[in-house]
């Protein structure tokens, strides 16, 4: 562990270009996937939160169950679609960062949807009568809820990002862990582990952890500012 820690510090200090590329790709892929998942997931979460329809409970159960989607299964499904012999093969997306973004977005959309549904439903319980009194349309209600819950939803997005940036099963299948093209932190860790270079693998893990800490700290700072204004 001590060796790994030293190695991690050394790697960072050396400003290793390969490492930087891997870190940046990790961030680019997972942040983009999180943005896309938020776009879709928040909308689903909001509509389910304010909706009263037949089969709503079944939808809730499904959303919660999908939070546990195994990354490998998502990877495999995306692979089968993006493969040259698959229905979307003509796009030529397999083994590109885009494929990894797609896989991660699919993986975390249910997380964003399920968690935001809870947040938005709680907020809606507070606002519902006032909104009905103002005769808001469904779309105006969704917009208002999303905006007023923005700081809580930031945490939801963070949960999605955390899962995306930490998963290896999906991106290794659809990305292929290609050096300088689709290698991200987690697949690099998997590779070094299989090479038996456990210290380097652990060092990369430590760096990943530090990045995750940094992103979390940034979001926490934003939230605390918002809390002081009673906007949370």
Helix/strand/coil (H/E/C) assignment for every residue in 194-211: HCCCHHHHHHHHHHHHHH
Q: Based on the shown chain and the rule CB under 8 A, indicate whether residue 181 belongs to the binding site for other proteins.
A: yes
**Range in contact with other proteins (rule: CB under 8 A) among 51-59, 68-76, 209-217, 223-231:** 223-231
* DSSP states along the chain: -HHHHHHHHHHHHHT-HHHHHHHHHHHHHHHHHHHHHHHHHHHHHHHHHH---TTHHHHHHHHHHHTT--HHHHHHHHHHHHSTTSTTGGG--TTSHHHHHHHHHHHHHHHHHHHHHHHHHHHHHHHHHHHHHTT--HHHHHHHHHHHTHHHHHHHHHHHHHHHHH--HHHHHHHTT-TTTT--HHHHHHHHHHTT-HHHHHHHHHHHHHHHHHHHHHHHHHHHHHHHTT--
- Around 173, how many Cα atoms within 13 Å sit in the side-chain half-sphere? 20
Cβ distance to other proteins smaller for residue 14 or 133: 133
Shortest CB 131 distance to other proteins, Å: 9
- Minimum CB separation of residue 64 from other proteins in Å reads 26
**Minimum CB distance to other proteins, residue 36 (Å):** 5
Q: Using CB under 8 A as the criterion, what x/- string covers residues 15-54 for binding other proteins?
A: -----------------x--xx-xx---------------
Span from 49-57, 60-68, 123-131, 211-219 in contact with other proteins (CB under 8 A): 123-131
Told to check if 9 binds other proteins by CB under 8 A, we report no
Position among 96, 104, 116, 186 found at the interface with other proteins (CB under 8 A) = 96
- The least distance separating other proteins from the CB of residue 174, rounded to whole angstroms, comes to 10
> Could you tell me the smallest distance in angstroms from the CB atom of residue 86 to other proteins?
7
Applying the rule CB under 8 A, the residues between 134 and 153 that interact with other proteins are 134-136, 140, 144, 147-148
Question: What's the closest the beta carbon of residue 163 comes to other proteins, in angstroms?
Answer: 19
Residue 50 and residue 141 in contact, taking contact as beta carbons nearer than 8 Å: yes
Which residues contact other proteins by CB under 8 A? 32, 35-36, 38-39, 83-86, 89-99, 101, 126-127, 129-130, 132-136, 140, 144, 147-148, 176-179, 181-182, 191, 193-198, 229-232
């Amino acid at each position: 562990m001590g060796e790994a820690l030293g190695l991690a510090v050394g790697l960072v200090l050396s400003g290793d270009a390969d490492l930087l590329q891997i870190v940046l790709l990790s961030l680019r892929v997972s942040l983009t996937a999180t943005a896309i998942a938020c776009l879709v997931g928040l909308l689903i979460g909001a509509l389910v939160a304010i909706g009263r329809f037949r089969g709503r409970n079944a939808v809730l159960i499904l959303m919660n169950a999908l939070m546990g989607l195994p990354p490998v299964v998502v990877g495999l499904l995306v692979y089968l679609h993006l493969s040259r012999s698959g229905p979307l093969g003509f796009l030529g997306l397999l083994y590109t960062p885009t494929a990894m973004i797609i896989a991660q977005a699919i993986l975390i959309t249910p997380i964003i949807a399920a968690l935001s549904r809870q947040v938005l439903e709680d907020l809606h319980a507070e606002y519902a009568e006032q909104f009905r009194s103002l005769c808001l349309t469904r779309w105006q209600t969704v917009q208002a809820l999303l905006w007023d819950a923005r700081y809580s939803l930031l945490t939801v997005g963070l949960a999605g990002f955390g899962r995306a940036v930490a998963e290896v099963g999906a991106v290794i299948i659809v990305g292929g862990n290609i050096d300088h093209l689709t290698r991200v932190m987690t697949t690099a860790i998997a590779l070094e582990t299989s090479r038996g270079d456990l210290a380097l693998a652990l060092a990369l893990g430590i760096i990943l952890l530090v990045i995750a800490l940094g992103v979390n700290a940034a979001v926490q700072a934003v939230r605390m500012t918002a809390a002081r204004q009673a906007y949370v």
